[in-house]
Amino acid sequence: MRELVAETRLHPRSFVAPLFVREGIDEPHPITSLPGVVQHTRSSLVSEAKHLADLGVGAIIVFGIPSTKDSIGSQAFHPEGIVQQALTDLAGAVGERVVVMADLCVDEYTEHGHCGILDGRGSVDNDATLAVYAKIAVAQARAGAQVVAPSGMMDGQVGVIRAALDAEGFTSTAILAYSAKYASGLYGPFREAVDVEIADGGNRKGYQQDWRNAREALIEVRADIAQGADMVMVKPALAYLDVIAAVRAEVDVPVAAYHVSGEYAMIKAAAANGWIDHDVVAMEHLTAIKRAGADIILTYFARWFAEQVAS
């Protein structure tokens, strides 16, 4: 009877698996702080994507780790950049079965690790960054991305990306906007995953949101929708369930939540110590994110969840 009356159900199709692809490696590299997650080679990335497609996972989102970084992150839009190559591989191999998304940012590609281009004083220059994002969006769409997901929290990024895509004929490439992305301590393991260290002990508080603010998230979400976002995201997830619920109540576009690296790592670490039951807590957390109002969940548990359902 509990099954009959359950208000919230999870389905693999609602999940997005984040995947990392690294240039210049012959074997997948484990990520110490994200047990079970690896930096892929181009070919292991395709194998993993096929496995996820077989399991019925809804989408994948790709992050690249280039072998060379520079001040503007040019490998993020170079036609032969690692992510562009990977997107082409994935679109061909699984593009009819899973949605192929690309994270759109420069932090993995810049030597300073910021999500934008720096001005002469070392601060992120919002508008100079927008021009680079426009180029990245077009390069990703051309390579095969069906959805681009700008994660840099620059003001005006969605509008500029929509215009750039449309101008190049990519009118049906969708935008999943990281709209309410908080300057969180929970991205720690991700920085290891993409080999990013922010220069001079810096942080992202200048462009990501202050976790004391919830109403501000709605301003960001409304702005992104007005600029053409097809889907909006709240990130991280568990410490921001109130924000997910508020966004869900406010808008009619699909709402995504990113269950981030630190949220995954905390479960893995506590379970490894025998302090919590891994499967129970993972399911409880993912369900809570859905119950709060997320239609789509980006999580490193995507494969695990789909395997649970399949078994």
Residues in 283-302 at the binding interface with ligand PBG, rule: CB under 6 A: none
- DSSP letters, 150-196, are E-S--TTHHHHHHHHHHHTT-TT-EEEEEEEEB--GGGHHHHHHTT-
261 belongs to the binding site for ligand PBG (CB under 6 A): yes
Residues in 125-154 at the binding interface with ligand PBG, rule: CB under 6 A: 151
Q: Which stretch binds ligand PBG (CB under 6 A): 88-96, 102-110, 139-147, 243-251?
A: 102-110
Give the number of other CB atoms < 10 A from CB of residue 153: 25
Tell me the CA distances in angstroms from 269 to 35, 184, 225, 273, 304, one per residue in order: 9, 19, 37, 6, 16
Shortest approach of ligand PBG to residue 301 CB, angstroms? 12
251 belongs to the binding site for ligand PBG (CB under 6 A): no
Shortest approach of ligand PBG to residue 219 CB, angstroms? 19
Q: Which stretch binds ligand PBG (CB under 6 A): 100-108, 130-138, 217-225, 269-277?
A: 100-108
Helix, coil or strand: residue 310? helix
The answer to whether 182 and 263 are in contact (CB under 8 A) is no
Residue type, 106: V
Write down the catalytic residue from 69, 235, 268, 290: 235
Query: Which CB atom, from 43 or from 286, has the smaller least distance to ligand PBG?
Result: 286
Shortest approach of ligand PBG to residue 105 CB, angstroms? 3
- 117: tokens are 């281009």
23 belongs to the binding site for ligand PBG (CB under 6 A): no
- 219: tokens are 């301003």
Active site residue 181: yes
The interface mask with ligand PBG, positions 191-210, x = CB under 6 A, is -------------x------
Tell me the CA distances in angstroms from 258 to 12, 159, 203, 244, one per residue in order: 15, 22, 20, 10
**Strand partners of residue 21:** 40, 64
Helix, coil or strand: residue 288? helix
Query: Which CB atom, from 170 or from 190, has the smaller least distance to ligand PBG?
Result: 190
Choose, by CB under 6 A, the member of 15, 77, 109, 187 that binds ligand PBG.
187
Write down the catalytic residue from 181, 205, 268, 290: 181
- 104: tokens are 């759109």
260 belongs to the binding site for ligand PBG (CB under 6 A): yes
176 belongs to the binding site for ligand PBG (CB under 6 A): no
The answer to whether 64 and 87 are in contact (CB under 8 A) is no
Interface with ligand PBG: number of residues (CB under 6 A): 10
Q: Which stretch binds ligand PBG (CB under 6 A): 20-28, 99-107, 213-221, 283-291?
A: 99-107
Helices (H), 171-277: 188-193, 215-226, 241-250, 261-272
Choose, by CB under 6 A, the member of 23, 48, 89, 107 that binds ligand PBG.
107
Choose, by CB under 6 A, the member of 109, 190, 207, 240 that binds ligand PBG.
190
The answer to whether 37 and 55 are in contact (CB under 8 A) is no
Please classify residue 185 by burial: count the beta carbons closer than 10 Å to its beta carbon, then call 0-12 exposed, 13-18 middle and 19+ buried. exposed
Choose, by CB under 6 A, the member of 23, 103, 220, 224 that binds ligand PBG.
103
Active site residue 69: no
Residues near ligand PBG, by CB under 6 A: 103, 105, 107, 115, 151, 187, 190, 204, 260-261
Active site residues: 181, 235
